[in-house]
Structure 1
Amino acid sequence: MSSKQGGKAKPLKQPKSDKKEYDDVDKAFLQKKKEEEKALKDLKAKAQKGAVGGAGLKKSGKK
């Protein structure tokens, strides 16, 4: 019928996982991935910088 507990039940907390051991292949992959993300971030920043300049709708002087 009716219970005291209303709403959604919270999930139980997961135990913290220990730090993973990475071998050389995994370390190289993670390093490469970080470099790619950094390059992508730089490209996005450059793209936004250039697009802000003069592009946009021009208003006419007519009423």
Structure 2
Amino acid sequence: MTYRRRWATLGTMAWTTPRLDPDRSRRRLQILAELAGARAVRQRERPQRARSAQLRQLIAIRRRVTG
């Protein structure tokens, strides 16, 4: 008796995406919406912080381009 092992290849595997249950998807979307809302409130309450962050980003980009 010989032992033969068959190796699966990518061609034989079925590529499927796992489906989330509807309640989990709804909760996930709700959490993401709440996070986006909280981020927007923070940026509205602290516009100076947002402006300084943009300025730092622009300075960093300029340094990369010229340096």
Which category of TM-score, normalised to the shorter sequence, fits these structures? Answer: 0.3 to 0.5
- 1 or 2, which has the higher helix percentage? 2
| Relative contact order higher in (CA < 8 Å, ≥ 6 apart) | 2
TM-score by length of 2: 0.43
